[in-house]
Structure 1
Amino acid sequence: MKLKSLLVGLGLLAGVGAAQAADDPFKVGFVYVGPVGDLGWSYEHDRGRQELEQFFDGKVETTFVENVPEGADAERVITQLAKSGNDLIFSTSFGFMNPTLKVAKRFPKVTFEHATGYKRSKNMGTYVLRTYEGRYVSGVAAGMLTETNTIGYIGSFPIPEVIRDINATYMAAKSVNPEVKIKIVWVNSWYDPGKETDAANALMDQGVDVLLQHTDSPAPLIAAEKRGMRAIGQASDQSSFAPNAHVFSVRDDWAPYYIKVTQEVMDGTYEPKDFWGGFSEDMLSLASINDNLPDDVRAKIDETYEQIKSGEFKPFTGPIMDNKGNVVVPAGHSLTDTELAQVNWYVEGITDAIPR
């Protein structure tokens, strides 16, 4: 769907910039945990920033700070952006949550939006993508493609988003391949090509032949390409790095949300809330599905995508057991967004323990 069409659907084209004087650009700041060249998470956030500027055509001025560590450094950077006259600030990593909240309390006239968190205030909202939808489709593909019945997952940090996505991947793989196992390696980093390469090779050494990741560089895809394995891209279209290994990439598109929130703040209609976007909002998509996939795998990918996009199927619908034998999702219940944000358990069949 074209961006303009999507924005029409969200009611965003009326009164663009009406609340902002033509000679006084509305200022928006962005904080990234990685480099804009990571070709993953931060890269796509920055693409959204650029589309935001293009959409408002001179009425909005943006700035960004990249490679910001989560913690005290983040608070200093966010504070500086607020002091520099930014009207709206987007902080785009889970570890920025508490620093953003602290700064928001000190600058009540500035609007803050935090990605993937759960804490809000009068001038701070939260937003996240339903990445688990993409992981579920990825798990279906991985479960069908594996010849060793062993898929691998490279995790960044054991936060609810990542744990939730690992669960979605494994449940999906299990739905098409009851014999499948999943091996998980944690790198404790969002972006570290060296660690990601080592993790990918360690998993493949253990019999993994399909790799998935919740890290931001294309390094795992490159490693899979070198060893004749399969891998799925993270956050942006990473197909060019592994023409044979690449199954597809789950691409994030933040632009519609950045435009929507900016317009609301400019118009004075903004209210902080918890926003979730996914397939149905065209903010999550499957990029560059490989032509070398078997026909039955491609058909199942398309079918699963359409079922999730239409709302016919919701991945976290019970009954679901955790790997300790507890019912975590009762039969017939689909996890609410609040419940999804609190997932701290592995589903039945995952033999690992969640790092603490």
Structure 2
Amino acid sequence: MAGLGAGLASSLLWPKGARAAAGRQMTRSFAPVAEENALIAFGHTGPVTDGGWTTAHDLGVQAVRKAFPKLRSVYVESIPYSADATRIFRQFVAEGAQMVISTSNYGDFIKDVADRAPDVAFLECDGHNVTDNLGWFYITHWYASYIIGIAAGLMTKTNKLGYVGTFPIPSVYASANATLLGAQSVNPACTMSAIAINSWFDPQAATQAASALVDSGCDFLSGITDEPAYLRVAESRGVKAAMWNLGMRQFGPKAYVSSVVLDFAPFYVDQVRARLNGTWHAAPHFLTLADGVDRDAWGETVPPEIAARADEMRSKILAGYNPFRGPIRDNSGSIRVPAGVVMDDNMIYQWDWGVQGMTGLG
């Protein structure tokens, strides 16, 4: 556990485009707390030096420290998905934290603690529970993935895309499906082979998966891992790749196409400010395109005309267009989203099946 607070102008505001997801808005109020008396605790799923997911969240923690230099902040890295998580969240409460933020989905491990600490505000990334004192937030990364998928569909020569996945869970389905659907929107012949490595951070497994995908004919790699192993493979094998979490072009500048980049800082600063002011309420939140998540600047080898074609869709999405519209078939050929139906963020957030042309994810 580590962390002491430090300061940045408090002009960081809640992203204008971010919106609450459909769900029950709670009305429980929390007493204001003076900044110098405040303790904010963060529970991380990985190490803050992973260069990916946890690093992105740690940048948000650093923004909180800068915005509120008098408060204390603590964090624990690499919290397991086990009873140890419950113990750590309980310890945060015992130390006097007024707010506990988990940077991954800990389900009942955090909910059980929240239920027993009604005077503490809890916020869970990628969560699904909303109670009087527990809310959740997540990024709508599927739009950035769709945009990058358009570039993939225009750049591939084999029409075979590869995906280095982690676990068969909705966030992975949404990422892979969105990339493939974006590619198919400009190149219907595109297919995607996915390999799940059953870890968020396993460079050796990611390297092996990426090598196998390239060996099978994939000339464009994407994924959702927390480190750049498969980008290094793409660079060495002369294929293209798109990354996740942060910009990673330095690990493969010729292969790098773009990345789904995350920015939790404005949201974290806003939520902590609300807790200090006594105006925080438990609620669900989606951080939207250009307001918490976006595509990174295009790589140096992306042709300008392809970048422009993909960014036409980005502009449409920012104007309110949703590209996830039926008919959409699953990888057995059955229609899952009928014509005329648009998948909203809540539907995509629960995606648990692979689209047509996908192999390796059920």
State TM-score, norm by structure 2.
Answer: 0.89
1:307 shift after superposition? 1.6
* 8 A Cα contact 1:118 1:341, kept in partner: no
Whether 1:214 and 2:224 are equivalent positions in the alignment is yes
Instruction: Choose from 321, 325, 328 the match for 2:329.
Output: 321
Matched residue, 1:77: 88
- SS, match of residue 278 in structure 1: strand
Matched residue, 2:275: 265
Matched residue, 1:21: 34
Report 1 or 2 for greater relative contact order, CA contacts < 8 Å, sequence distance ≥ 6: 2
Separation of aligned partners in 2, 1:193 and 1:113: 30
1:41-86 CA deviation, whole Å, 9 max, x = no partner? 000000001011111232x321111112222222222111121111
State TM-score, norm by structure 1.
Answer: 0.90
Separation of aligned partners in 2, 1:353 and 1:23: 49
Instruction: Choose from 172, 175, 189 the match for 2:199.
Output: 189
- SS, match of residue 167 in structure 2: coil
Q: Which amino acid aligns with 1:121?
A: T
1:353 shift after superposition? 4.7
Matched residue, 2:308: 299
Matched residue, 1:15: none
Matched residue, 1:45: 57
Q: Which amino acid aligns with 1:255?
A: A
Separation of aligned partners in 1, 2:271 and 2:340: 34
1:3 shift after superposition? 9.3
1:208-233 CA deviation, whole Å, 9 max, x = no partner? 11110111111111111111111112
Separation of aligned partners in 1, 2:175 and 2:284: 19
1:96-152 CA deviation, whole Å, 9 max, x = no partner? 122111111121111111111212221100100001111111211111111111110
- Which sections of structure 1, spanning at least 5 residues, go unmatched? 12-17
Q: 1:286 to 1:3 in 2, by over 3 A?
A: farther
- Which sections of structure 2, spanning at least 5 residues, go unmatched? 1-8, 19-30
* 8 A Cα contact 2:154 2:183, kept in partner: yes
Matched residue, 1:347: 355
- SS, match of residue 109 in structure 1: coil
1:349 shift after superposition? 2.5
1:338 shift after superposition? 3.0
Separation of aligned partners in 1, 2:55 and 2:232: 18
- SS, match of residue 135 in structure 2: strand
Separation of aligned partners in 2, 1:230 and 1:57: 43
Total equivalences in the alignment:
342
Matched residue, 2:319: 310
Whether 1:290 and 2:299 are equivalent positions in the alignment is yes
Matched residue, 1:108: 118
Separation of aligned partners in 2, 1:285 and 1:92: 19
